[in-house]
Structure 1
């Protein structure tokens, strides 16, 4: 029982990271209707910025995270303006190629600036706490709590503010949103900023548990694509629930089946769910 609870907590930790990354991917997909492969690179850049601010500037972990969120949010806006906004929205292939190009560019830039070696981020929450017979680091608890807070804040923003409602409206009907006076450019910029900020937050929270390296976003973004397909393309509840389902399934499967098959479990789960529900758990549309 103790082993099960231990892996359940680990699964919730991983699922929290997956959900945050998938949320950003879902928001951008709702606007562009194209999978943003560059999202994994924004995740990686977020971790490096937090690490750089902490080590080179000697700033507090939380201040470093805030700087990372703002920086990656602004970087996302830059690429949205310079690249995505200049491509015909009716050409999804061009959008996809552009996203892959940004991914390679940012990974190459990280490789040039910081090298290929794995780096560890020191956290002030590395101590452990024991409860219910299991041992958990404060960092893992922080990941779960912070992720839930960010999800609640995003939900309130999308449902309780005019700007959030504009994002939802544009994702549901781009032409209709334009006809009622919604500024498509501003909505797209804000959506990319939010998505980039969520990716940076996820990376900054998970980096002390894992490691920081140029290709760290590749596997995470693959899992995020699996999650948004499982949850339903463009569904925010689907991204959240799908992230936790995948995180817990991987953790328990890696323990009770084999750690060698942990990454395969994600794609097996994808096949199983789509066999039963071809449109995903929550269908389509940002809601």
Structure 2
């Protein structure tokens, strides 16, 4: 039972990170209806900026996270203005190619600035907590608490505020939202900024138990695409549920099957679920 609960803890940790990344991705998809492959680069940039602020400028962990979130929000907004906005009337292939271009540009920039070596981000939360026989690193508990708190805050923002309602309206019907006076440009910029914040926070939370390197966002964004397909393209509840499903599947799969196949489990699960429910888990929330 202790080993089982240990895997539950690991699953919640991975699920929280995956949900944050997938939420940013699904919000952008809801506005553009184009997969934003550059989102993985925003995740990577968030980790590197936090790492740099802590190591070079002496910021503490939380200030580095806030600084990283602000920087990546600006970076994502600039990408929307300079890359995606000019292509808003182009076919779906052009924005996808542009997103891949942004991804490669940011990876090359990170490698030029910080090098290709793997870096280790420090954290003040290095302790271990014993919870009923389960060994729980404080950083993992922080990830679970912070990730799911941010999910709740985002849900309340989208459902209880006017700005959040405009994002939902734009995702449901762009033309109808424009007819009732919603500023599409403002909503697009806000959505990209939120996605950047989510990516930066997720990266800063997870980096201390992982490594920081230029290609770190590639596998994460691939799994995020699996998650939003599982949950239903454009569905916010689906992104959260999909993140938890993949997180638990990887945790239990690595323990009971083999760690070697941990990263393959997400794609096997994708095939299995879509063969039964091709529209995704939360089909009504998707477009």
Partner residue in 1 for 2:78: 78
Which residue in the other structure is 2:261 paired with? Answer: 261
How far the C-alpha of 1:4 sits from its partner, in A, is: 1.2
CA contact (8 A) 1:233 1:284 kept: no
Aligned residues between the structures:
287
Conserved 8 A contact 2:117-2:213: yes
Which residue matches 1:238?
238
Partner residue in 2 for 1:96: 96
Q: Which residue of 2 aligns with 1:65?
A: 65
Q: Give the equivalent residue in structure 1 for 2:15.
A: 15
**Distance in 2 between the 1:153 and 1:52 partners?**
27
Q: TM-score, normalised by structure 2?
A: 0.98
| Alignment check: 8 A CA contact 2:232 2:286 kept | no
Aligned counterparts of 1:286 and 1:67: Cα–Cα separation in 2: 33
What are the equivalent positions in structure 2 for 1:32-181 lying under 5 Å apart? 32-181=32-181
User: Residues 54 and 64 of structure 1 are in contact (CA less than 8 Å); yes or no, is this contact kept in structure 2?
Assistant: yes
Distance in 2 (CA, whole Å) between partners of 1:89 and 1:212 is 36
Structure 1 position 8, deviation (Å) = 1.2
Q: Aligned to 2:283, what secondary structure does the other structure show?
A: coil
Structure 1, unaligned runs of 5 or more: none
Q: Distance in 2 between matches of 1:217 and 1:115?
A: 16
1:90, distance to aligned residue in structure 2 (A):
4.6
Closer, same or farther: CA 286–274 of 1 in aligned 2, 3 Å:
closer
**CA offsets, 1:105-164, max 9 Å, x none?**
000000111001000011000110011211111100000000111011101111111111
8 Å Cα contact 1:20/1:202 also seen in 2: yes
Q: SS at the partner of 2:37?
A: coil
Q: TM-score, normalised by structure 1?
A: 0.98
User: Which deviates more, 69-78 or 277-286?
Assistant: 277-286
Instruction: Measure, in 1, the Cα distance between the counterparts of 2:58 and 2:37.
Output: 32
CA distance in 1, matches of 2:90, 2:279: 22
Query: C-alpha distance in 2, partners of 1:180/1:257?
Result: 53
1:224 is matched with which residue?
A: 224
CA distance in 1, matches of 2:253, 2:212: 25
Matched residues in 2 for 1:253 and 1:4: separation? Answer: 12
Q: Which residue of 2 aligns with 1:2?
A: 2
Write the distance in 2 (CA, Å) between the matches of 1:259 and 1:139. 21
Query: Residues 42 and 199 of structure 1 are in contact (CA less than 8 Å); yes or no, is this contact kept in structure 2?
Result: yes
Point out 4+ residue stretches in structure 1 off by more than 6 angstroms: none
Secondary structure of 1:208's partner? helix
Partners of 1:211 and 1:127 in 2: CA distance: 19
Match of 2:207 in 1: 207
2:25 counterpart residue number:
25
What is the Cα deviation at residue 285 of structure 1? 3.9
CA distance in 2, matches of 1:218, 1:284: 29
* Cα deviation, residue 3, structure 1: 1.2
Q: Report the Cα distance in structure 1 between the residues aligned to 2:124 and 2:153, rounded to whole angstroms.
A: 25
In structure 2, what is the Cα distance between the partners aligned to 1:95 and 1:285? 23
- The answer (yes or no) to whether the contact 1:46–1:204 under 8 Å persists in 2 is yes
Show CA shifts across 1:72-108 (max 9, x none).
0011001100010000345110010000000000000
